[in-house]
Structure 1
Amino acid sequence: MLELALDRRFKGFHLQTHLQIGDEIAALYGPSGSGKSLTLLAIAGLIRPTSGTIRINGRTVFDAKAGINLAPHQRRVGLVFQEYALFPHKTVSGNLSFGLARGVPTHEAASRVDEMLQLLRLQSFAQHYPHQISGGQRQRVALGRALIGHPEILLLDEPFSALDLAIRETLRQELLQMLADYKGTILLVTHNLQEAYLMASTIAIIDGGKILQMGTREEVLHQPRTRRVAEHTGAKNILRGVACRDPDGALDIVWRGHHLRADGPAPSAPGEVECCIRPEDVRLVWPERPGRRENLLRGRIVHELGRGLDFLLFVSLTDESDRGKYDLEIQVRSRLHHLMALHVGKEVWLSLPPDRLHLLQPDE
């Protein structure tokens, strides 16, 4: 388990990170310059916070008030850097052995290196140097160097950013397989939301040095707490309306003259609110069978963007034909796009499912 509360001021930036992570894979997701890598460096002991605490499995490795600041090699933390940071003058075996604790007997070190080479499937590359192996193999060496010392915490700093897009998916699966038997906390830093979702069970959104929201990946994606979190997680349809109560006491949101219902906690008082819905959660409805769909709207496609497997549709709920002005963004599979014969200028019926229309709290 990792518990931390950090505070460190830099020139023009204030890092105030609070996290609590169990034995799982968690992702620290945010844009460049949000404080992700600084948080990892603080956990690893490579930068010192001004105040706060860091605990690993209940063991205090940093406490500003108590004057505790364990050296990096005493923290039992494995760190895989973004560019891997392999020693160019050392072989694969030499890089792996560097990850062992000081004082490990020679015969035990050799045995541990051999075991790691087998796990990484790099036995035939043991005497190769980093420039003689591929990017994916260098990643495996960096991971092996971090794991060989049996760390309690494993930190991964953008582990796929240096790789070609074509091999990322394969290496992501390889990494998950290699980590399947790891018993400890894994913190992945990434600015790729899909990567965070595919690898982690918990996602923490960070921006401006602060954690904006932390929860399961489904919670963070479909129940963003604030507008900033919604924008960071791709909930692009942010609707500003007025909340009131209908005669039955249910929450009613009036948006662009339409009455919408949203599930979930209601605002404490009627008034202006913001809610959001992800593009893939908006439902297109066949015009001849709208049925009893809730939050049913009619609009016109003013622009579309084909992306191979799917389309992004930009829909206006007015007679506006300007492609730059639209009210909702919808993601549909290419198959449905073909079946419904969708095209720019076509009128469409759509539904905003109440369980996917989520109210937002004001940004702090």
Structure 2
Amino acid sequence: MASVHNSPPAGNALAVLLLAVSAFIIVTTEFIIVGLLPGLARDLGVTVATAGWLVTLFGFTVMLFGPLLTGLVSHLDRKALFVVILLVFAGSNGLAAAAPNMGVLALARFLPAIALPVFWGTASETAGMIAGPGRESRAVSNVYMGIAGAMVLGIPLGTLAGDMFGWRGTFAGLAALSLMMAGLLAVVMPPIARQPRMRLAEQLGIFRKAAFAANLALSVLVFTAMFTAYTYLADLLEQVAGIAPSAVGWWLMGFGLVGLVGNWVGGRIVGRDPLRATFLAVVVLAVGMAATAPLASWRPGLVIALAVWGFANTALYPICQVRVMGVASHAQALAGTLNVSMANAGIALGAIIGAVAINQLGVGSLGYIAAGVAVAAAVAALLVARMTKP
């Protein structure tokens, strides 16, 4: 573990807290677009399905650039690296707020998508370095709580902010927060000893293990199932359940709060048998997604369906991350980043499938189609378990 020089424990704790807040802002920037899609599409004169391609763009960019960039820059000075990443997010969110059309908005989504996986791949490790011996686990957990909170609350917060300030105001707010965090980290974060550089070819040796590649492929399928419907959840609530646009954000907030419970449970059950945990979670996910449309007109039923969906949806985040890293023989930081990249590939594919489903069958079909993909993921989990059984 690298050492931290000339930094008091209180300053270290504050630096870890700032990393967690930065993680929340950075990951919120990725997911917030989902809650803004209906209003953004109306304002720019495009369909929701067309606006959904912004989600696809972000996901594929993370997938393609994440592992390579993380492997190339993880040895650089972490303090400077995080400040630069947050400045990129500040500038790109500011550009999104001023975007006159979909082309400029696409550029504003492409730029942070390049930087996000680098933060993912280095933030938790850096938090452990800052915290010092005996405090690494708690520091890493704090950073991941910021990430988990953004995953489950970023969309509803964006929806509520979009309703109050407009989607442009939401992006402007994220730009201001990113700039503020860049300044705070520049002042507060202690200097950290640089990490030795490991050749990328050596790190990629983890692919020699078939189980690792199989688990990565499973993550793609799981996240495709999740985001086929989740990408368009705000539109589904408006169009199928008849929820007023001003109230959608509160429904998504409830979805996210239930998801926090799912995130906690997922983190507790995954250690016993990661593949079994994956199987159980995707089956529950399928039930929740499939039940949403038929129960949409009955509010108590809709609440139950969304609670089941939200619980399983967010439980799968830590389950997939731990499952993939657990089968890596070495280079676990790269393994975690690769899983994030594959998850984003699934997010992008899910957004594509969802857009096609909306255009061909209507938004009411999303839950059934996503549930079908989830069932396929459950079958795949059983196959991977059989393949890797000793």
TM range (shorter): under 0.3
Give the number of the structure whose alpha-carbon radius of gyration is greater.
Answer: 1
TM-score scaled by length of structure 1: 0.25
TM-score scaled by length of structure 2: 0.24
Higher strand proportion: 1
Higher RCO, 1 vs 2 (CA within 8 Å, ≥6 residues apart): 2
